Amino acid sequence: MKTPKVFGIGFHKTGTKSLASALHQLGYTVTGSNEVYNARIAEQVHDLARRLTATHDAFQDNPWPLLFREMDRDFPGSRFILTLRPTDKWIKSVVSHFGADDTPMRQWIYGVGHPLGNEEIFVQRYERHNREVMEYFANRQPDLLVLRITEGEGWEKLCPFLGAPIPKRPFPQANTAESRSKKGA
């Protein structure tokens, strides 16, 4: 039996890189984020998704959160992981990490390319996305895992959801503010 595809559909700064590392450790071929600086991402995203879904079995970060409905339709039996973070901590991290730097990907997602000065727009989109995912999967809880990596959830929720044994090593913590500050030191 072929392993179902796994789509991480949480927005950036919700533990997506940690999820990618965990999925990789479990043997998945993982991709994301993709085409952040592609000025034509909105019109090319479906071609990108077709190319990447042919060569990978796990997906996280962008553009996957915006494609969850299409991926569910195109890959029946897939598993979806919504990584969440408290909104106040999420927006603080987004502003700290991205500031006034514009990208076409953020322009496509939020309607503005950077969070600094646009916090309310970013928060509204983040919260709307999370509501839409929860509503979409409301009657299909076995297909959706809500995972709060930044609050300490990890292997104990992820592995049973994927039918995988729990590794004997700590759950990865990638791209944290602390790890980024050490790189810059």
Nearest of 143, 152, 124, 164 to residue 72 by alpha carbon = 143
Distance CA 154, CA 57 (A): 20
Classify residue 110: in a domain, yes or no: no
Residue with tokens 């995972």: 147
Q: Please state, in angstroms and rounded to a whole number, the distance separating the CA atoms of residues 91 and 106.
A: 14
Q: Is 151 domain-assigned? A: yes
Neighbour-count burial of 101, counting CB atoms closer than 10 A to its CB (0-12 exposed, 13-18 middle, 19+ buried): exposed
Check if the beta carbon of residue 82 is closer than 8 Å to that of residue 157.
Answer: no
What CATH number is associated with residue 160? 3.40.50.300
112 is a domain residue: no
Q: Copy the structure tokens of residue 85.
A: 């973070």
Number of domain units in the chain: 1
Within a domain: 168: yes
Q: Is residue 105 part of a domain?
A: no
Reading phi first (left if > 0) and then psi (alpha if -120 to 50, else beta), residue 23 is in alpha
Closest CA to 113 of 122, 124, 123, 102: 102
The pTM for the full model equals 0.91
d(CA 85, CA 61): 14
Q: Is residue 56 part of a domain?
A: yes
Number of H helices, E strands in the chain: 8, 5
C-alpha–C-alpha distance, residues 7 and 79, integer Å: 6
- Single-letter amino acid code for the residue at 51: R
pLDDT at position 175: 57
Number of C-alpha atoms within 13 angstroms, CB side, residue 108?
20
Question: How many residues belong to the chain?
Answer: 185
In whole angstroms, what is the distance from residue 185 CA to residue 181 CA?
A: 6
Task: Kindly state whether residue 20 falls inside one of the protein's structural domains.
Answer: yes
Q: Per residue of the chain (185 residues), what is the pLDDT tens digit? A: 467 999 999 999 999 999 999 999 999 999 988 898 889 999 999 999 999 999 999 999 999 999 999 999 999 999 999 999 999 999 999 999 999 999 999 999 999 999 999 999 999 999 999 999 999 999 998 999 999 999 999 999 999 999 999 999 999 987 555 543 444 43
Q: How far apart are CA 5 and CA 59, in angstroms?
A: 8
Please indicate, yes or no, if residue 149 is contained in any of the structural domains: yes
Residue 68 belongs to domain spanning = 6-88+140-184
Interhelix angle for 87-98 vs 177-184, to 10°? 20
